[in-house]
Amino acid sequence: MKTLIITIFIAFLVAMGLLSPTRAETVVASQDTLLSKYEKNDRVFIKLQIENIVSYFHQRTIGEAIVEKDFIRYQFDTNTGELIEKKTKWREDLPDRVGPVIAKEKAESMVEGVVQFTQLYFISPKSDVFLIRPTPKNPCWIVRSIDKERMIITVIDARSGKKLGYGIPPPGAGYSFSGPYDSIVCDGGWYYWYTSARDWFESMGYPTDAEIYPRKPAIQSHLQNDTTAMFYVIAHSKSKTWGFQNWCFEYTTAQEIEAWLASYAHMPFTFLANCSGMCDTLDTAVESSLSYAFRKGSSEDAVTVGYCRMDSSICTDCWYCSLDWQNAFFCYLDSEYSMGYAFDHADLDYPDCAKDEWKCLRMAGDRDLVVVPAITRCLCRSITDCYCIEIMAEYYLVRCSFTVPTGQTLNIDPGVELRFMNNSKIAANGTLNANGATGQIRMVSVENTGEGMEFTGQLRIMNGGQIKIYE
């Protein structure tokens, strides 16, 4: 005879999400065996191989100016040498050369704060980061600076020397929601990122709320339920991986996430789009790692994906294609691929996010998790699944309906109280034995503990019988 034993397993991660077997490298087209069949020139490509797929990515430049969103990408099957994909985005309205521009030093003298770095760009009409209208036709100096802990991206016409405006900075300090990207004056938000997540979640079958500047109770309500399975946050970080700025003067910490999820199942999928949200995925101190807190330490049926050092100069190229990477990743998930496949192939599509040995985008948890068709937060199939019954301080919480399997017995001891939530019930193909001979047993509703039943003596349910508290 088996009795119900509930044990909490905390699995430590064995990997940090650095999943590519081969680091990205640069190759010259004419000198690479596969690439030279299609490119006879000396263009430089980023090469990234994952398993049997190799991707070559060339970022278009004109002189020293990067042409935003223009690229050539090839993907091959290394086993057969077959070309899987060739994709080209190449604007035809640009000059062959940059021409005379103002000095970089002059552009840097026009910005606020301390300059971090400067780059010459042709801004794309479809830019996610530089929302300057009309789109500048001239090359622009993009100057990133820090002023009183606030990151500023200044756009300056490199021909006229006129300041055109500002770009959207990456989330430096961080359901689908966005915090303010200007944390000093509490303004702006990463609109395209968090609404894209909402649209993809809904496409995958998850009705999704999207908010800007949510307060803590709103975040807490989306964690403390048994239905929210997909969670996306883009916001400034607080103390690296410890939290994110959800509202103008309010930060949510990993320790608060841990406390809110204490009586609930882990979040199956979380996208931490705050600059350092995924830098420390192995930290066993729950309060110091958002990734750990959302997964509750689990590497089964739980995944966190997100940024690491996205506010550093080494991840600048990745930030400019971060929305494209995100859309590619979600598109693969929507096509019923696993988390690991989607992550790897988004890297293959946009290797600027994988070329650094530390990686600007990381994943931790269950690579085999598939979220389409839509999954539920609690997978209640048998007694031991996903918090079907959870031990609380003074009672047992029945989170969702389950069945005692044939040949097994669930014993409920004297003095136990069961509280049913989510309209749940217990069915018994085996045997449910409630032995209240020496102490009262109570079975009540979570919403109203005055509704239900309490008894002494013995109650036995078997052969398809059920216990259900009607609310």
User: Among 59-73, 238-252, 292-306, 337-351, which is the least confidently predicted range?
Assistant: 238-252
Region 170-191: mean pLDDT is: 79
What pLDDT is recorded for position 422?
66
- Residue-wise pLDDT tens digits, 16-38: 232 333 457 889 999 999 999 99
Q: Which residues pair with 54 in a beta bridge?
A: 49, 76
> Which residue bears the tokens 């550093």?
312
Dihedral sign, CA of 99, 100, 101, 105? positive
Distance of alpha carbon 256 from alpha carbon 239, whole angstroms: 14
pLDDT in tens, 345-397: 999 999 989 876 668 999 999 999 999 988 877 655 555 555 567 667 688 88
User: Sign of torsion, CA 129 130 132 136?
Assistant: negative
User: What gap in Å lies between CA 111 and CA 220, rounded to an integer?
Assistant: 39
pLDDT-derived band of residue 14, with 50, 70 and 90 as boundaries? very low
CA 391 to chain centre: 30
Q: Are strands 431-445 and 409-412 parallel, antiparallel or unpaired?
A: parallel
Where residue 56 falls among pLDDT bands split at 50, 70, 90?
Answer: very high
- Phi first, then psi, for residue 49 (nearest 5°) are -115, 130
C-alpha dist (Å) from residue 80 to 85, 336, 341, 429: 14, 25, 20, 53
Question: For 116-130, what is the mean pLDDT?
Answer: 93
Residue 15 has pLDDT above 60, yes or no: no
Is the pLDDT reported for residue 48 higher than 70?
yes
Question: Exposed (0-12), middle (13-18) or buried (19+): which is 62, by Cβ within 10 Å?
Answer: middle
CATH topology of domain 176-365: Rossmann fold (3.40.50)
Number of alpha helices (DSSP H) and beta strands (DSSP E) in the chain: 8, 27
Residues 203 and 145: their CA atoms lie apart, in Å, by: 38
* Beta carbons of 440 and 418 less than 8 angstroms apart: no
Question: Rounded distance, CA 316 to CA 20, Å?
Answer: 20
Q: How far is CA 222 from CA 200, 230, 237, 251, 296, in A?
A: 18, 10, 20, 16, 16
Q: What is the mean pLDDT of residues 134-149?
A: 90
- Res 123: pLDDT: 97
Predicted confidence (pLDDT) per residue in 391-426, tens digit:
676 888 887 777 888 888 888 888 889 888 767 788
What integer is the mean pLDDT of 36-43?
94
pLDDT above 90 for 156: yes
Please compute the mean of the pLDDT values over residues 167-174 and round it to a whole number: 67
Q: Could you tell me the residue ranges of all domains in the chain?
A: 25-89, 104-167, 176-365, 389-468
- What per-residue confidence (pLDDT) applies to 241? 55
Pick from 279, 260, 263, 80: nearest CA to 174? 279
Which residue, 259, 216, 221, is CA-closest to 235?
Answer: 216
The fraction of the chain above a pLDDT of 90, given in percent, is 48
The answer to whether the CB of 52 falls within 8 A of the CB of 77 is: yes
> What digits encode the pLDDT tens for the residues 70-120?
999 999 999 999 999 999 999 999 999 999 999 999 999 999 998 988 999
pLDDT at 19: 34
Q: How confident is the model at residue 231 (pLDDT cuts 50, 70, 90)?
A: very high
The mean per-residue pLDDT over the stretch 220-245 comes to 84
Q: What is the mean pLDDT of the chain?
A: 84
The sign of the dihedral angle between the CA atoms of 2, 8, 14, 19 is positive
Higher pLDDT, 23 or 182: 182
148/375 Cα distance (integer angstroms): 44
Confidence of residue 341 (pLDDT cuts 50, 70, 90): very high
- Predicted confidence at residue 468, as pLDDT, reads 76
Q: By 3-state DSSP, what share of the chain in percent is helix, strand and coil, each rounded to 5?
A: 20, 35, 50
Confidence of residue 456 (pLDDT cuts 50, 70, 90): confident
279-308 confidence digits (pLDDT tens): 876 444 444 689 999 998 888 889 999 999
Note the pLDDT of residue 281: 61
